[in-house]
Amino acid sequence: MRTRHALALGLAAAATVTTLVATGPAVAAPAHPAKAPERTSCPQLSKNIKWYGANRAKIQRMIDERGTCAHPKPGPEGRPVAAFDWDNTVVKNDITDATLAWSLKHDKILRPKSWKATSPWMTTAADRALTKACGTSVPVGRPLRTSKNAACADEIMEIRGTARTMDGKAAFAGEWNHRRTKPEYAWVPQLFAGLTPAQLTSYTRQARAEALAAPIGAQQTVGTHRLAGYIRYYDQQKDLIRTLKAAGFEVYIVSASSETVAEAWSGGVGVDRAHTIGVRSILKNGRFTTGIRGCGDVKDGHGEVLPYMDGKRCLINQEIFKIKGAEAWRFQDPAHRIALGGGDANTDVTFVNDATGIHLAVNRNQPELMCRGYDNADGRWVVNPMFIEPLPKKSGTYPCATTGYTNTDGGTGPVRRPDGTVVPDQKDRIHA
């Protein structure tokens, strides 16, 4: 059924119709009419946690209008929905990087039978680089000694981060839909092939404990790569999620991380496993494989669809609103869209733009997201600097009118509004 979890938008309209068709004698208004209930009784965002400008007030207004304060009994369409990206949206820094780094430093990645078989897009150059760096002395299915073998750790980290080998050769080639997947994003869950969900959960929790204990600004070294060594939950997002849930919203996390990895973190903001959506690796005999679940009319495969750009829309439509097949890729009517969407990157732009109440954009200088945020075509965009270590003002402008949009073939083009008009280039106006 396509009615579950959608916004309860019909209540106010129904009340209006009832008033218009009511019959009977008119009743005189009392001399001292009762005051309408004050909105301060609604679940409130903390005023002790700083947001940029009037952003807190804008979000609070939407919560008051869509939540149980205005609609104490959700209608047949169900409760309103909020959906958030995870990395650099709900937390500062990247949980996939943290888990992969911890796994490499503790020899937890198992040697595959063939590196090329880990991804359908892996190049011969990447296969050769990984084979040379990681060697063949470790039996297939046994842990690689990446804590001591910096060359192996470096090749893995470089391919994860840049989609290139250490000597600069492309690690992935071929055709894929660039608004549905990114091979280097799919590759990390594929590196966990052979592990059990319990093992990956344990590794993630240990990485999580280290990252939360490290001071803000800390870095770590994996091989010769330097990367962030700390993670923090954003107080603003923890408070927002708490308030949304108190106001009757269903809150989901939709992340391009492995779903098992995301589940080990999402409980920290009160979101359970049933409301956490990530990359869904296929299990065989209780262990992860390199296979990844599809979405809509795209069958299970090896990463042809991820919670990435348009893939996030598909998974939200399929998993939350129960829309099946090719229809899950399409822009839906307001009753079958989220009320609030929050993200920080181009990877989030489709589902954030789908929101009917608030589009929350955390400014990480990502062009398509910021073009839409600053254009603010429907007046519902809320742009906020990163809550920890925000970026300074971007020099120049976002190239919205020329190259801000990513096409399905990986090329670029202008960002367009729903009516087809081109979004003009935008200056970076909301920053540290």
Query: What pLDDT is recorded for position 398?
Result: 98
Task: State percent of the chain over pLDDT 90.
Answer: 88
Q: How far apart are CA 26 and CA 281, in angstroms?
A: 64
Query: What pLDDT is recorded for position 142?
Result: 98
CB atoms under 10 Å from CB of 165, counted, come to 22
Query: What pLDDT is recorded for position 134?
Result: 98
Tens-digit pLDDT profile for residues 235-284: 999 999 999 999 999 999 999 999 999 999 999 999 999 999 999 999 99
Q: How far apart are CA 245 and CA 360, in angstroms?
A: 17
Query: What pLDDT is recorded for position 27?
Result: 31
Query: What pLDDT is recorded for position 33?
Result: 37
Q: Which long-range contacts (CB under 8 A, 24 or more apart) does 284-289 make?
A: 286/196, 286/197, 287/193, 287/194, 287/195, 287/196, 288/189, 288/192, 288/193, 288/194, 288/195, 288/196, 288/197, 288/200, 289/193
Three state DSSP letters for 347-362: HHHHHHHHCCCEEEEE
Q: Which residues of the chain have pLDDT under 70?
A: 1-40, 75-76
What domains can you pick out in the chain, each with its CATH number? 54-93+231-279+307-427 (3.40.50.1000), 96-227 (no CATH)
Is the C-alpha dihedral spanning 156, 157, 160, 164 positive or negative?
negative
Query: What pLDDT is recorded for position 76?
Result: 62
